[in-house]
Structure 1
Amino acid sequence: MTQPTHTPLEREDEPMPQPVVLSGRYVLGKLLGRGGMADVFEAQDTRLGRTVAVKMLRADMARDRQLRVRFEREAQAVAALNHPNIVAVYDTGERLADPLNPGSVEVPFMVMELVIGRTLRELVRSGPIDQEKALEYVQGVLSALEYSHRAGIVHRDIKPANVMVCDDSGSVKVMDFGIARAIAESGATMTQTQAVLGTAQYLSPEQAQGQTVDARSDLYSTGCLLYELLTGRPPFIGESPVSVAYQHVQVEAPKAQEFNPEITDAVQSVLDRALQKDPDRRFQDAGAFRRALRAASAGRILPSLASADDDERTDALAVAAAAAGIGAYAAPLEVPEPASPHLGDTGEFPAVEAADDDGLLPFNDESEVRERRRRGHGGWIALLLVLALLVLGGGGYWLYSYLNQPPAVVYVAVPSVANLKDTDAFAKLTQLGLNPEFSQKPSADVAKGLAIDTIPAAGSQLAKNTKIVIEVSTGPSAAVIPQAIIGNTEAGARDMLRSIGLVPADQSKTANSATVPYGRVISVDPPAGQSVPIGSQVVLTVSTGKVAVPNLVGRTEADAKAALADLKLQAQVTLQASSTAAAGTVIGQDPAANEAVDQGGTVFLTVAEAPPAPAPAPATTAASTPTTSPTGTPSSSTSGNGNGHGNGNGNGLGLGLGG
């Protein structure tokens, strides 16, 4: 919709909706973006006097208690990240539920750095990005991942839409740290939202298979990101998220050079390594990926994976040699061949001395005797060493078996968590060593957000680490659309609906209005005041800031002006003579009927005026003509005003008196 160029007129007696204020300091402004999981608003931090961005989890997502708890934990961890390539998280909080609205829900939010720029998704829509610029962008992403991975945080949703390029510096900022992880842990499927459809194009094979992921999953997604920047398309395209996920697992990505021949062999070798299906064959950390990109910029091609395996085996041999006390580059040990009888020049065998009577060879000196005794002692020592090793081995095995005996099962009694806040109940059961999960259940007796009971119930005996379900009240099953939504801003209205468990339609309608200012809500469907089931969709109708001009032709000037005044419009009248219309009647208007004009604008009326009075005809005199009277006496007749006076005197004389 186009915003009017003038300031719309507003009724002085109409109270303006109160702005949404979070944590007593963040005043929400215009809606910056809308996603499948959260909305992003511009906001003013009144305490520090700066503009920030507030990402608020959608109310329908916040109603999932397990997701909300994990989102809050993750947000706290991400808030500790401080890196120039990561959008800073300044604060976290929770918008409290409206106590007057039983359908409202607590909604967590994150206060972040406001970045002015464009996402890589917007940049790549116009086609592939220059290779050097693409490598620069991805190196910034990898720098952010290297930092976050050291902090123990895996992003899990690297994609072009989550990387912002700053307008002022050209540097990149990675967004949405932690949110993707919380969503993944909640068990969201790939067919739930269109947002996940886009994410499926960057899923690692282990993510697509539902396996546990680590930092190398982010590196695979970064490889997909680099592929798209260089080619203008992701490595895999399909009709559904499932088909795309299948390709990630089973199909080799086509060479990027097929779509962009300008990609160098060095960069292609990096892509080949990053998009390996087996995590062990990819880059093992973001630093190695980043160094490979720098080398590719200089034209150095990565060795093939076979060569890399040979190098790894060589490194393994070197480590083993070092552990054995042998230099890594020592020459092979030379073992002398055993001595063999040697025929002399005469061809005879060397002479052998005769044995003594006791069968022993004679000894030449005392040193040979000592040598023989030393060898005998060495045998005993070797035997003792073998026995010691056997004893140690047996003792070690016994100790290993003892230490690895399965521990005795420890049972705990399930406490009562009824009427506790969901997070308090979660913490109470966790402290006992149980593994709690949330389940929502409507309740007319327990307030929304409080625990109803557990499954198994309180008093049950459970082994530690056993799963236990916390039933959380969702409160009433219906919500009343508030009257305050009328006249609110579109962003404020959407937030109000989500806070009570209703779902605003993705697309709002627009309509002209004489009284509702531009961008504010005129009406909702279902109408305000109606009770609807939780989760119902509500369609907003938002003012265009314009007024539809009625048909005024044929109405009197006074009626036309009154009709325009009711619409807060001005009238400018021009009179024009008309031979067919009655005086004071509107015979023309601009704009024409049903056309729109800005609120408070002017409508030009053409009104018929009365015709002028006809001018009197001028008097005329005819020439006198002599006539003869009946008596023969000449007389004259004079043309006058048609009035004659006759008088007979006996002579038959007649006079004509002209008036």
Structure 2
Amino acid sequence: MDKYLGKKLDGRYEIMELIGIGGMANVYKAYDIIEDRIVAVKILREEYMENDDFRRRFKNESKAMAVLNHPNVMRVYDVSFSDKMQSIVMEFIDGITLKEYIEQQGVLKWKEAVHFTVQILRALQHAHDKGIVHRDIKPQNIMLLSDGTIKITDFGIARFARSETHTITDKAIGSVHYISPEQASGDTIDARTDIYSVGVMLYEMLTGRVPFEADSPVSVALKQIQSTAPTPRSINPSIPEGLEEITMHAMEKDVNKRYQSAAQMLRDIDEFKRNPSILFEYKYLNAPHAGDDRKYSEAIQSARSSKGKKKKAKEKEKVKRAPIIPVLAGVTAAFVIVTAAFIGWMIYLNNPFVKVDDAIVPTLVGEKYDNVKISPKYSDFTIQVEDTGFSDEYAKGIIYEQSPKEGTTVKVDSIIKVKVSTGQQTVTLPDFSGQDAAQVFARLDEYGLVYEETSIFDDGIPSGCVVKTNPGEGAQVTAGSLITVYVSMGKEEKLVTVPDLIGIKLDDAKKLLGDNYKLKLGKITYDNDSDEPAGVIIEQSFAPDSQVSQGSAIDVVVSGEDDDNMIKLTLMIPLPREIGRQVEMSATLDGVEVQKDTLVPAEAKTWKPVFEGEGGKADVAIFFDGELYQTYELDFDRKGHTPIGDYSSEFTE
């Protein structure tokens, strides 16, 4: 038994159950008795407690996640490091991994893939702004909640971009199907590595498969470095061209041709969402850049050569003008005297030689502006509001951007300009019912909302017009929210299957048609010459299993009057149609077997046992190969029956 189950860690976390087993740690569901909430506790396995590398990676994960505060990143509440145990207390997420969701769906709708990708990129931009590179972005490390929210987890191999302590082996860590070419080859990596991994995930969501497959991880890594992936549209032609361009641009093998930040990729996605037919055509990627050593060197050499030519021209011009130097000497001397006097006066006023202390710019992003402006922590700086604006990430009054960036060295009393959030931009949804769907989609795009179309039948709304939305009229939603739009396909002509009425009493047929099939009994004709028991149907106008419109009338022929005092009732027992072998059906009336037949359910479809009685009520049991199948109560006076128990769902092939 797991030694942590039922234990209380640090006097507050009651371990409830093991919910995950990872490469170096186990994850438990626990109850925080102080905060009265369910949490997840990640504990480093005992066998790795003596391994310095694993201990370093585990601490690095807690350090990386602790500095992040973003709705799409799993939150860290607490950490504990000792010689006996190392643990991280995190937000508990009740969901599945994005990998599991992709495997369930096969291929995702492009709108859904974009919805997930936007959340991932926003979280990564936040991490990259903090100087953190995840290095292991893959769908297995992305949690998906039931409301469509994404949470990035597992920062176990993340590192701080400014850290100088990484090693060559650190650089190549990652999941081989999602690592970048520079990661696979062991080169230095930065935030653009995460962008490549996002591109691979977007590729997988759109096509249902990863770009590169091979027999071994090494072979996959070599393909990441050398091979070109098939274009997404060659696998799934329904993908818009603009989205394909975004995907392939994120997967550029040359880091300098790739998106340089999550923000750049988000901007293209925003453009695509506004106009799904957009084409980006990244032709500028062929221009010289700093990553191309030869072209870059040629550009530098050209610039230097041009500069040298200009310098020689100026020297020649200076030689030609040499005779006028004595004329200008007096003017120059006067200018120098005036300038020196002005500089002396400024020195006297400002005293620039007085030493001003340096200070490190703090992190203001994510802080409440009202608190920052009065807090003594920031007394070494002058905080100025440069702008305000809507923000999907930060609540009203929270700083969402600052200049200079955190960690910059400046002089005391320097100005830090900040931008403060006015909250998420909200939209009150109007009533779209009855409006043309194309016009409604255009309106939703203007509002900055993501929409998903669902087609339904509706008797009152013309085809191609909106029936309703979810959320509905009057709902307040934020920019980027997903709106389900139900579009009418017009009135539905509903068809039903005609049941087999042969051998059934007239009253039973009427009840059966009305209750179960939304049909009605039509013209009734009697046949006194029939050999069948009196009062039962011997012919019907529509053949059994034929399709007719709901509400149709079924004409029947009934056998002549029955002079016998005995009342006969016939039950129509539905059979499991997937069973193609012979079975034995039997029926008892008040415990006495009255009928037994051998038949094939897939062919017979129904079994019609007949019961006789002089009046009153009786109990019927139906058996399938000797096992209880259904039970009924018969009422011979009313010539009807009532189902009591149904166990038919348990009988399958």
Relative to the length of structure 2, the TM-score reads 0.42
Give the strand-richer structure, 1 or 2: 2
